[in-house]
Amino acid sequence: MGRIDSDELARDVQKLAEARVLCVGDVMLDRFVHGAVERVSPEAPIPVLRIYREAVMLGGAGNVVRNLVALGAKCTFVSVIGHDDGGTKLTDLVRELENVEAYLLRESNRPSTIKTRYMAAGQQLLRADHETNASLMVSTEVDVQRTALEAIDSCDAVILSDYGKGVLSDRSIEAVIARCRASRKPVVVDPKGDDFSRYRGATIVTPNCAELAKASGMAVEEESSIVIASRKIISEFGIESVLVTRSQDGMSLIDESNAEHVSVRAQEVFDVSGAGDTVVAAFAAAIAVGISPLSAVSLANVAAGIVVGKAGTAAVRGDDLVNALRSTDLDATDAKIASKPSAMEKIQHWREQSHRIGFTNGCFDLLHPGHVSLLRQARAACDRLIVGLNDDASVTLLKGKGRPIQNDRARARVLASLSSVDLVVVFSEETPVDLIRAFRPDLLVKGADYRLEEVVGSNLVRENGGDVMLVNVEPGYSTTNTIARISAS
């Protein structure tokens, strides 16, 4: 693919807030049961999981919706749930999302899809699925189709998120695609199964390599075979383009005459689950606001690179995308700079790995050996160290006119370049108490020039069972004194 300007793509991210996307498909409840394995069962040669935490989130088409709204888009969501506890929880989770108009149709005697993953030390031990792939009742199918068709006129693009659980019937898919073509609205299909004839006439389908191989009846092993198999799909089913998601290997965009291949941008691959949902959401939101397909693929590619660096099914936020796009050869450094929501996801992952999490904060204007010493001592007392960094406005409030000398982006990058720092989070408040309350660190660190009762957030940390540590301050160093000496010279 020809080089696309990252600054231009970053500006495109801002346009995603104007996108209006209809998503129709199979919603699921992803349930995670976390615990520790310390022994083998005396009843059978299986591990015993001692459970200490459970979490639930939207999966399937619900994860597509999560990604759409995280990117700033507005979404209309149509799906089917059961008259059960799972359906109630799904309704609650969707209701928590902003900018979503949801139509979750309930069907009697139909279980809501629930996928339960049992986890230990960040690894999946077992997955148990509670689901059906039976066809909808005729009355429910009619309601799904009618609701979707009525929503098309008020949307800029449509996603059909097909997980094969029965929500998307052949008749509903055909009707939605026909209406989209008549209205000149792009329809993006995340397909399921080996019969792509049911997606005939779609603007784009987004199979992974295994799905493409099944649908085309061809071996798919390298880029050339991906192109051949994709063009067979295009020719046979009147599909305009195929976007092949290739896990950590990237993706390929293919039409009748062009083929573009991109490598995924990821610092470290934790989990590829849900990456396809992220790609579909980012691509659809982009083309919904008139961004070119090539640029849309570039945005989706960067989003996929971010999400495979997170644990479990995850959503990519607009600020994550902008930060990644604006990084060049500072990728590893910039990856340590995170928004508060992104930091929360990283902290959760670290906790699942039983890491001891430390926190310190400051302005860190003109980093000096005293700062470096404090950070090194803090990191030695924990497994992961988070630094809360005052933004420019709060530094001016604390230090006075003319400060900071360096803006918060520059200060964050300098801090993130240190091996002793694992994460930098910029905050705008005068104190970091809101971050401390949200992050619940196991260790709070400040210099020994403070008294314990003066350390902001010390009571919160102690109430949560954490520790507060005052470390030795390297004598003779002060940013204020340094600036004064420079001004006097």
Q: Which active-site residues does the annotation give?
A: 277
Give the C-alpha distances (Å, rounded to integers) separating 319 from 20, 274, 326, 434: 19, 19, 11, 20
- Report which of 120, 206, 132 is spatially closest to residue 167, judged by C-alpha positions: 132
How many Cβ atoms from other residues are within 10 Å of residue 22's Cβ?
29
CA 337, chain centre distance (Å): 15
Give the C-alpha distances (Å, rounded to integers) separating 404 from 71, 174, 418: 31, 59, 20
Provide the pairing of β-strand 241-245 with 204-205: parallel
- Report which of 443, 423, 457, 271 is spatially closest to residue 347, judged by C-alpha positions: 423
CA distance 380 to 483: 30
Which two tokens mark 393? 């406005």
- Residue 113 is which amino acid? T
Strand order through the sheet with 157-161: 100-107, 74-82, 20-25, 157-161, 187-190, 204-205, 241-245, 251-254, 259-262
- Residue 209 is which amino acid? C
- Residue 428 is which amino acid? S
User: Is residue 168 helix, strand or coil?
Assistant: coil
How many Cβ atoms from other residues are within 10 Å of residue 381's Cβ?
15
- Residue 203 is which amino acid? T
Q: What angle do CA 377, 381, 384 make, to 5 degrees?
A: 100
The HSE-up count of residue 473 (CA atoms within 13 Å, CB side) is: 11
Contact 89, 116 (CB under 8 A): no
CA distance 347 to 453: 26
- Residue 190 is which amino acid? D
- Residue 277 is which amino acid? D
Q: What is the helix (H) or strand (E) element at residue 170, kind and residue range?
A: helix 170-183
How many Cβ atoms from other residues are within 10 Å of residue 345's Cβ?
18
Q: What is the helix (H) or strand (E) element at residue 51, kind and residue range?
A: strand 47-60
- Burial-class residue 299 by CB neighbours within 10 Å (0-12, 13-18, 19+): buried
CA distance 391 to 388: 9
